Amino acid sequence: MTMHATAGARAGDGPSPGGPTIFERSRPGRRAWSLPDAGLAAPGIEELIPAEHRRAEPPALPEVSELELVRHYTRLSQENWAIDVGAYPLGSCSMKYNPKVAEDVAALPGFAGLHPLADDDLVQGALEVLGVLGEALCELTGMARLTFQPAAGAQGELTGLLIMRAYHLARGDVRKRVIVPDSAHGTNPASVTLAGWKAQEVPSDTRGLVDLSALEELLDDDVAGLMLTNPNTLGLFERDIKRIAAAVHEAGGLLYYDGANFNSIVGKVRPGDMGFDVVHMNLHKTFATPHGGGGPGSGPLAVTEELERYLPAPVLAWSEPAGRWRWDNDRPHSIGRIHSWHGNFGIDVRAYVYLRSLGPEGLKRVAERAVLNANYLKTLIEGAFPTAYPGTCMHEFVSTAKGLKPHGVRAMDVAKRLIDHGFHPPTVYFPLVVEEALMVEPTETESRETLDELAAAFNAVAAEAATDPAALHRAPTSTPVRRPDEAKAARHLKLRWTPDDSSNT
C-alpha cells in the first residue's frame, strides 16, 4: 500500500486527522460490494433521470473496499468520546447513561418504521406512547397539557415564549421585555430576542440566587415574564421562588421554567407548584436519551390550563366515546406548527421506556443520587477548586480555577489536561458570572469509584499546575487532535470537501 505523506501521520494510519482520509484511500473502481451478473440488461442512467437533473461530473465519492469502509467508521467512533466510553461530567448537559433497553424498544420496526402521515387508527400504539408519556410529564411538572413538537430545549423556549406572547396579545396587552438572570443559559436571551421581545438581565446576589429587590425594581406592566431555571445554572435552588412567582404574576407577567436542570428535582418538586406557567423539558437530559453527537433531542413544552389553547396544533387528544387517541387540529387559538411532524418521536419512545422502567420511586432516586453524587464530588475537589458560592449544591456545582492563575494556568488548561486522565472535561467559562468557571455535573449514573477517580484526576491536575504548568499548556497529548480553534469551525463553516483538501490535515 502506498502511504500518502500527510502532516502528523501517526502509527495506525487512522482516518483524518493524522492518517490518510477515506478520500485519499480511494482507488478508481474499488467497491465495498459486488453482485453476480444476473444476465439482464440494466437501463442506463440516461433513461432513468432526465438530463436537467443529472450531474455533469460524477460526485467525488471515495471508492473503497468494505473492509476499508468498516475501518473508517470504526476508527472515527474510537476518536470520539461518549458516555459509553467514560465519565462525561459536562455541566448543564446531564450526560447520563442511556439504558440499552430504551434503544431496543425505539428500534422496534413498529416504532422505527412508522410514517408520520399514517392514519390515526393504524398507529394507536404509538399515540398511546405519546399520550401516556405526555400525561406522566404533565404530572411530574404540575402542568395541564403539552406538545411534543419542539426538537430540543431551545425550540421549547421559543414555543413557550410565542405562547406567552399569544396570551398577552389576546388580552390586548402589548408587552416589551422578558427578564432573564445573569446566570442564564445563552439560549434564554436568544429565544427572547427571536420571539420579538427584549431580554433584560436581573443580577444574582451574593448567594448566587436571583436578587429579589433588583427583580422587583425591574417589574412593571411592560414585562411579559421571567425565564428561570431552578435549580439555577450555578447548581443552587432558588429558595425565593414563591416570592419571585408572586411578584412576576402581580405585575401581570408569566413565569417560564427552563427545565434543563429538572434532573435534580424530578419526582420530588414540581415547577407548577412553584408557580411556573410554562415549562420545557429536555428529554435528552433528564430522561436519559442520547445527545451531544449521539442523537437528536426532544424538548416537550407543557403549560397550565389557562395557556393550553395556544399550544402548537395538532394536539394529541383522547376521545372517550371512541376509546382512541387522535390528533386534534381544531385549535383556533394555536400559535401554529413549530415542527413539520410530531417532534422527534424516537426520542420520546426512549423517554417513555426510561420512565416506565424506573417508576415513580425510581425517578425520585434519580434526583436524590444526582444531588448526592454532585455534593460528594464537590467535597473531594473543593480544596483545589472552590465553588463560587458556599453551601450544598443540587445536581451540579460551579467551581473556579482562578486559584491556578498565579501559575499561568486557566480553566481551559485544566479541562484539556483532564482528557489525558481519561475524562471528558466539565463545562468551562459558563455561567458567565463565575471567573474561570468549571461547571461539573457527574449525574446519578456514575459509581462512587468513578467519582473517586474523577476527583483524583482533578486534584492531580491542580497539583501539576504548581509543579509543571507547561504540561497543562501542552494538554491534551493523548488525543488525535490537540487544541482546535474553538470558534473557527462555527465562524468559517466549510461543509464541502474538494480534492484540493487532501493535502490539508
Ligand X SMILES: *Cc1c(COP(=O)(O)O)cnc(C)c1O
Binding region for ligand X (CB under 6 A) = 92, 152-154, 185, 187, 229, 233, 258, 260, 282, 297, 299
Chain-centroid distance of CA 328 in Å reads 29
174 CB burial (10 A radius; 0-12, 13-18, 19+): exposed
Chain-centroid distance of CA 165 in Å reads 25
Asked if 64 contacts 32 with a C-beta cutoff of 8 angstroms, the reply is yes
Between residues 143 and 283, which has the closer beta carbon with respect to ligand X?
283
Between residues 282 and 443, which has the closer beta carbon with respect to ligand X?
282
**Whose grid coordinates read 395556544?**
310
CA distance 189 to 154: 10
Between residues 106 and 234, which has the closer beta carbon with respect to ligand X?
234
Between residues 18 and 181, which has the closer beta carbon with respect to ligand X?
181
Between residues 253 and 259, which has the closer beta carbon with respect to ligand X?
259
Asked if 316 contacts 85 with a C-beta cutoff of 8 angstroms, the reply is no
Query: For residue 96, how many C-alpha atoms fall within 13 Å in the half-sphere facing its CB?
Result: 28
Chain-centroid distance of CA 272 in Å reads 23
Between residues 25 and 185, which has the closer beta carbon with respect to ligand X?
185
Minimum distance of ligand X from residue 142's CB (angstroms): 19
Angle at 437 between CA 435 and CA 441, to 5 degrees: 155
Minimum distance of ligand X from residue 343's CB (angstroms): 12
- Backbone Cα Rg of the chain: 26
Between residues 153 and 272, which has the closer beta carbon with respect to ligand X?
153
Question: SS3 helix, strand, coil % of the chain, rounded to 5?
Answer: 40, 10, 50
Residues 6+ apart with CB under 8 A from 47: none
Between residues 81 and 325, which has the closer beta carbon with respect to ligand X?
81
Minimum distance of ligand X from residue 211's CB (angstroms): 19
Minimum distance of ligand X from residue 185's CB (angstroms): 3
Minimum distance of ligand X from residue 309's CB (angstroms): 25
Minimum distance of ligand X from residue 299's CB (angstroms): 5
Residue number of the CB atom closest to ligand X: 153
Q: Cβ of 67: how many Cβ atoms within 10 Å?
A: 9
What per-residue string of b and e applies to 76-102 under the rule 16 or more CB within 10 Å gives b? eeeeebebeeebbbbbbbbbbebbeeb
Minimum distance of ligand X from residue 92's CB (angstroms): 3
Minimum distance of ligand X from residue 191's CB (angstroms): 9
Between residues 301 and 455, which has the closer beta carbon with respect to ligand X?
301
Asked if 124 contacts 325 with a C-beta cutoff of 8 angstroms, the reply is yes
Residues 6+ apart with CB under 8 A from 109: none
Minimum distance of ligand X from residue 431's CB (angstroms): 9
CA distance 382 to 199: 34
Minimum distance of ligand X from residue 307's CB (angstroms): 20
Minimum distance of ligand X from residue 371's CB (angstroms): 17
Between residues 14 and 346, which has the closer beta carbon with respect to ligand X?
346
Asked if 76 contacts 15 with a C-beta cutoff of 8 angstroms, the reply is yes
| Pairing relationship of beta strands 254-259 and 223-228 according to DSSP bridges | parallel
Minimum distance of ligand X from residue 260's CB (angstroms): 3
Between residues 223 and 283, which has the closer beta carbon with respect to ligand X?
283
Q: Among candidates 321, 290, 392, which has minimal Cα distance to 82? A: 290
| Pairing relationship of beta strands 145-147 and 397-400 according to DSSP bridges | unpaired
